[in-house]
């Protein structure tokens, strides 16, 4: 789909340029690859979350169609990209902003969960 979109942008740019007796040079940067989690790692992570934090702490309902630098890792090795709910009502801020902060109430449990998951992977 990205390739088709890029081709159409090139064609339109060349057509508009030709209409005005010009030439178009179109360079398209495709960006980062999509992040696709390894299903086995997701299954193991789900088990770890249920064990450590309980059933209310895990949700797979959030579907994102985006990309991230992390996608480069996922292309090379089995990987999992997960999110921790870290906001506090009335204090939320976007990622990669100077006002972003993680709730103190989630930092220690999230770290414990990540470490427990790493140990579970090492034991497999």
CA 63/CA 66 separation, integer angstroms: 9
pLDDT tens digit sequence for 63-76? 666 667 888 899 99
* 11, 21, 22, 28, 102 from 18: Cα distances, Å: 10, 5, 5, 19, 53
Pure H helices in 20-103? 39-53, 70-76
Q: Are 91 and 49 in contact (CB under 8 A)?
A: no
Sketch the domain layout of the chain as residue ranges: 1-30, 32-123
Counts for the chain of helices (H) and strands (E), in that order = 4, 0
Indicate the length of the chain as a whole number: 124
pLDDT tens digit sequence for 93-113? 877 888 888 888 888 888 999
Overall pTM surpassing 0.85 (yes/no) = no
Q: Are 8 and 16 in contact (CB under 8 A)?
A: no
């Amino acid at each position: 789909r990205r390739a088709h979109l890029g081709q159409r942008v090139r064609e339109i740019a060349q057509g508009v340029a030709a209409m005005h007796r010009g030439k178009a040079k179109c360079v398209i940067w495709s960006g980062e690859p999509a992040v696709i989690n390894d299903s086995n790692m997701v299954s193991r992570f789900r088990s770890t979350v249920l064990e450590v934090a309980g059933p209310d702490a895990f949700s797979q309902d959030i579907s994102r169609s985006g990309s991230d630098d992390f996608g480069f890792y996922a292309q090379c090795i089995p990987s999992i990209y997960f999110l921790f709910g870290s906001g506090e009502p009335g204090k939320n801020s976007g990622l990669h902003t100077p006002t972003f902060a993680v709730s103190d109430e989630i930092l220690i449990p999230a770290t414990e969960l990540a470490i427990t998951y790493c140990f579970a992977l090492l034991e497999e």
